[in-house]
């Protein structure tokens, strides 16, 4: 497949090299499970919170605090005992992570999503959607308990230095680190007409890109930074995520390499890592490329979200958690 370099985005702590290829075909299998829970109803609540706080849920803001209170309240009602961990953003704003466990000792799979928005908008798809996905899964976990502990992690300040997940990883003891079977990240799970980017554990897309840009030393250096450390469990997790997304007819981009982005980054090289970010690239009139309509702007409202995609991606994440707990990575 011929690929061409579209753009290189390099923000502090965010680096993604994007390649375009011909449109991916969706997988053909249909999900056999009925969509039971409504992730969308959680998202509606988050959208209302944003509306009540000036269209903003950034770390340290009243909308950010109201989102945190909402998540804690929902988890408590479901029977969890959520705990918080203080986080300071790169701008000096103070927020908190929220962590909740299904219980049991020993092996843990962490399912994470950032709940903060950028200061420029309400962050409903990025990443109220991921929060809605986690809450819906939290609900399913009440009746279907996997064989290991599932830790739901709601990160603050992803948008400002990936500070929440970074703080958490730094706080982990070696024993805790060893008990983590996988970290799975959910970001932008409600994108319309999506193409999912999964964490590229084997570096295949970066390698392909390197082939195509042999005579570009700057690109070669950028690609070097995108090569993930060799980790077989992460490779199996990538395959699991691809399989679960495929079952839900969410197409996965094969030609996009992603490393160091979002809340997967602090976990890389420490525990098996995987995750999905759903994109729908749009080029604005000023030639700036957006990952999805409304991305990081006041227009990242509930109108940008496809409720059906949100439920299907939630199902895919649930599928992944269950596969991991059933031993898919061992
Ligand atoms: N969703 C990430 C954010 O919070 C950015 C991102 C987009 C990461 C696309 C990877 C791919 O801004
Ligand atoms: Zn963002
Ligand atoms: Zn995000």
Reported as a single tens digit per residue, the pLDDT across 299-325 is 999 999 999 999 999 999 999 999 999
CB 20 within 8 A of CB 3: yes
How close are the terminal C-alpha atoms of the chain, in Å?
32
Among 121, 188, 190, 256, say which to mutate for ligand 1: greatest number of ligand atoms within 8 Å of CB.
188
Token digits for 249? Answer: 């007819």
Q: Is 187's C-beta closer than 6 angstroms to any atom of ligand 1? A: yes
Rounded CA separation 16/79 (Å)? 38
**C-alpha of residue 253 to centroid of ligand 2, in Å:** 19
**C-alpha of residue 97 to centroid of ligand 2, in Å:** 16
Closest by CA position to 259, among listed 283, 282, 277: 277
Residues in the chain, how many?
A: 330
DSSP 117: B
Count of other CB atoms within 10 angstroms of residue 87: 25
CB 81 within 8 A of CB 108: no
The ligand placed nearest to the CA atom of residue 296 is 2
Rounded CA separation 278/132 (Å)? 14
Over the chain (330 residues), the average pLDDT of each successive run of 10 is 30 30 31 61 98 98 98 98 98 98 91 98 98 98 93 98 97 96 97 95 84 83 82 95 98 73 91 95 90 96 98 98 96
Domains of the chain: 5-27+35-324 (3.40.630.10)
**C-alpha of residue 184 to centroid of ligand 2, in Å:** 17
Q: Is 262's C-beta closer than 6 angstroms to any atom of ligand 1? A: yes
Q: Whose CA is nearest to atom 7 of ligand 1?
A: 291
Q: Is 180's C-beta closer than 6 angstroms to any atom of ligand 1? A: no
Token digits for 64? Answer: 């950010």
Which runs of E-coded beta strand occur in 127-189?
A: 149-155, 180-187
Ion ligand 2: residues, Cβ under 5 Å: 126
Rounded CA separation 298/54 (Å)? 10
Q: Is 200's C-beta closer than 6 angstroms to any atom of ligand 1? A: no
pLDDT at 227: 85
Rounded CA separation 321/220 (Å)? 35
**C-alpha of residue 127 to centroid of ligand 2, in Å:** 7
The ligand placed nearest to the CA atom of residue 275 is 1
Q: Whose CA is nearest to atom 5 of ligand 1?
A: 262
Q: Is 264's C-beta closer than 6 angstroms to any atom of ligand 1? A: no
DSSP 276: E
Which runs of E-coded beta strand occur in 128-213?
A: 149-155, 180-187, 195-198
Token digits for 253? Answer: 């981009």
Closest by CA position to 58, among listed 149, 128, 122: 122
What does the buried/exposed string (b/e) look like for 108-128 if buried means 16 or more CB atoms within 10 Å of the residue's CB?
bbbbbbbbbbbbbbbbbbbbb
Among 119, 277, 313, say which to mutate for ligand 1: greatest number of ligand atoms within 8 Å of CB.
277
Q: Is 126's C-beta closer than 6 angstroms to any atom of ligand 1? A: yes
Q: Is 70's C-beta closer than 6 angstroms to any atom of ligand 1? A: no
Token digits for 53? Answer: 């706080």
Rounded CA separation 280/143 (Å)? 34
Q: Which residues contact 173 (CB under 8 A, 6 or more apart)?
A: none
Closest by CA position to 276, among listed 330, 219, 238: 238
**C-alpha of residue 218 to centroid of ligand 1, in Å:** 23
pLDDT at 271: 96
Closest by CA position to 196, among listed 151, 153, 243: 243
Q: Which residue has the tokens 């103070």?
A: 94
pLDDT at 214: 80
As beta bridge partners, residue 256 has: 18
């Amino acid at each position: 497949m011929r690929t061409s370099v579209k753009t290189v985005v390099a923000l502090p702590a965010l680096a993604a090299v994007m390649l375009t290829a011909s449109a991916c075909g969706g997988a053909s299998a249909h999900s056999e499970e009925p969509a039971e829970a409504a992730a969308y109803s959680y998202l509606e609540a988050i959208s209302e919170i944003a509306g009540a706080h000036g269209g903003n849920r950034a770390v340290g803001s009243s909308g950010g605090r109201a989102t945190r209170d909402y998540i804690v309240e929902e988890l408590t009602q479901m029977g969890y005992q959520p705990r918080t961990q203080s986080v300071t953003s790169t701008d000096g704003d103070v927020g908190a992570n929220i962590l909740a466990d299904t219980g049991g000792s020993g092996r843990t799979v962490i399912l994470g999503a950032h709940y903060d928005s950028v200061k420029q908008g309400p962050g409903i798809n990025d990443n109220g959607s991921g929060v809605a996905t986690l809450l819906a899964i939290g609900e399913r976990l009440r009746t279907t308990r996997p064989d290991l502990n599932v830790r739901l992690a709601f990160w603050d300040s992803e948008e400002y230095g990936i500070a929440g997940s970074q703080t958490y990883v730094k706080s982990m003891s070696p024993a805790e680190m060893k008990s983590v079977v996988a970290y799975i990240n959910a970001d932008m799970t409600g994108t319309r007409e999506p193409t999912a980017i999964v964490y590229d554990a084997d570096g295949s897309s970066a390698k392909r890109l390197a082939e195509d840009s042999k005579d570009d030393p700057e690109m070669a250096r950028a690609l070097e930074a995108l090569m993930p450390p060799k980790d077989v469990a992460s490779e199996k997790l990538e395959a699991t995520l691809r399989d679960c997304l495929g079952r839900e007819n969410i197409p996965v981009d094969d030609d996009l390499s992603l490393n160091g982005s979002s809340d997967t980054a602090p976990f890389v090289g420490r525990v098996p890592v995987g995750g999905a970010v759903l994109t729908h690239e749009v080029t604005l009139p000023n030639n700036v490329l957006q990952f999805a309509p409304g991305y990081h702007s006041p227009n990242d409202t509930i109108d940008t979200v496809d409720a059906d995609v949100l439920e299907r991606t939630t199902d895919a994440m649930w599928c992944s958690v269950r596969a991991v707990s059933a031993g898919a990575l061992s």
